[in-house]
Amino acid sequence: MVKCVYCGKNYEPPRGLSYILKDGTVKYLCSSKCRKNMLMKRRKVNWIRKSEETKKGLKAKGKKE
């Protein structure tokens, strides 16, 4: 299993993208959505926060911070 460097989601290797930087490091991304947001240097996005809340066992809907 490969882990996305942007959202932290585990996914199977045939799915997703491998983004190779000029210095030779490889960044694994689960979708083009993660790739585009990483390239725009976005960090505070609602769908990432919701996935983190569901991992912790909290309800994503109705929970406001």
Kindly report, residue by residue over 22-65, the tens digit of the pLDDT.
Answer: 999 999 999 888 888 888 887 766 666 666 666 666 554 555 55
Q: What is the pLDDT of residue 28?
A: 92
Question: The domain 2-55: what is its CATH number?
Answer: 2.30.170.20
- The pTM score is 0.59
- What residues form DSSP beta bridges with 21? none
Beta-carbon contacts of residue 35 (< 8 Å; ≥ 6 apart): 6, 17, 19, 29
Tokens of 26: 């490889």
- Helix (H, G, I), strand (E, B), or coil: what is residue 26? strand
Q: What is the pLDDT of residue 60?
A: 45
